[in-house]
Amino acid sequence: MSDFTSGLWAWFIGIATLLSFIAILWLLIWMSRGKPPPPAEQVQTMGHVWDGDLQEYNNPLPRWWLYMFYITVAYGAVYLVLYPGLAMFGGVLGWTEHSQYDAEVQAANDRYRPIYDRFRQVPLAELVNDPEAVKIGERLFSTYCTTCHGSDARGVRGFPNLRDNDWLYGGTAEDIEHTILNGRQGAMPGWEPILGYEGLFQVSEYVQGLSGRAVDSRVAAKGRDIYRQNCAVCHGDEGQGNQQVGAPNLADNIWLHGGSQKRIQETIAGGRNSRMPPHGEFLGEARVHLLAAYVFGLRVDKDIDY
């Protein structure tokens, strides 16, 4: 079979299977050659006795039992001819798990394609208000997205919340569709080697102050200079973030990688690298279109105009 990297293993498994098959057949024939059962009074016992008078007789196997065994062996032989039971021989039917899977996928595609194609033509602005489309999007989301974003789409640390109106890459339905189709990559280098421990502490104090936390203002003032020099290019002068590079807003007290002092310092010190995998090729444009409509409808505050 093609999954075996070396033909040697295929032959090893195949021959071992055949040998054990022959051994079972031989054992069966040998057992069934036995004489017919002797009259009850001449039966020998195996010499084992339990509970005083419970003896083990030395009788040959009953016929019906042997015939059943023959039937199972015949079934096995037919199976090995038809299906890939012997690793080096694929079976005359040519069945594989892959071929069955492909056939099932094909059948499902044929069935659902007309439905998807109908939605594919509808502009996103309309699709987001179509309850049927959103329902299908929801089902697709639970199949393909919940592993990372959670079943309620609220995310976990490192995987963004998709309900919070806070967007790394933009929150219009078109931005969301672009994200799902092509994936995104958010990368920030680690700053510890450049800023040293003290610089790191100062800038993290400043960053925490951006979202209104009580911080040591003298330390934060020093951190502000560091921020202006090194961080504002990506995160913006006021920490408002930049959706072109996926740099998060640092002033909204919503944290992708955790908002405790320790986590913030860790992020700045070591950097972060996050990847949203592209789904366009995998799911096809029609499904992504429906997913975008669903995700767009998740935002809590529907009045925000993006």
Max CA distance (Å), the chain:
107
What are the CB-based long-range contacts (under 8 Å, 24+) for 163-167? Answer: 163/298, 163/299, 163/300, 164/254, 164/299, 164/300, 165/299, 165/300, 165/301, 165/304, 166/249, 166/252, 166/254, 167/243
Residue at shortest CB range from ligand HEC:
186
Please state, in angstroms and rounded to a whole number, the distance separating the CA atoms of residues 71 and 78. Answer: 11
Residue choice 246, 293, 298, 299 for contact with ligand HEC (CB under 6 A): 246
Residues 6+ apart with CB under 8 A from 268: 190, 191, 192, 195, 200, 203, 204, 207
| Smallest distance, ligand HEC to C-beta of residue 273, A | 6
Residue 137, exposed/middle/buried by CB under 10 A (0-12, 13-18, 19+)?
Answer: buried
Residue choice 28, 124, 245, 251 for contact with ligand HEC (CB under 6 A): 245
Length of the chain: 306
Q: Which is nearer to ligand HEC, 136 or 250 (CB)?
A: 250
| Smallest distance, ligand HEC to C-beta of residue 212, A | 15
- Binding marks (x or -) toward ligand HEC, 247..286, rule CB under 6 A? xx-x----xxx------x--xx---x-xxxx-x-------
- Binding marks (x or -) toward ligand HEC, 122..161, rule CB under 6 A? -------------------x--xx-xxx---------xx-
- Binding marks (x or -) toward ligand HEC, 162..201, rule CB under 6 A? x----xxx------x--xx---xxxxx--x----------
Nearest CA to 59 out of 81, 77, 42 is that of: 42
Quote the Cα angle for 79-83-89, to 5°: 115
- Binding marks (x or -) toward ligand HEC, 48..87, rule CB under 6 A? ----------------------------------------
| Smallest distance, ligand HEC to C-beta of residue 244, A | 10
Q: Which of residues 14-33 bind ligand HEC (CB under 6 A)?
A: none
Q: Which is nearer to ligand HEC, 2 or 147 (CB)?
A: 147
Quote the Cα angle for 94-97-98, to 5°: 90
Residues near ligand HEC, by CB under 6 A: 141, 144-145, 147-149, 159-160, 162, 167-169, 176, 179-180, 184-188, 191, 203, 207, 230-231, 233-235, 245-248, 250, 255-257, 264, 267-268, 272, 274-277, 279, 291, 295
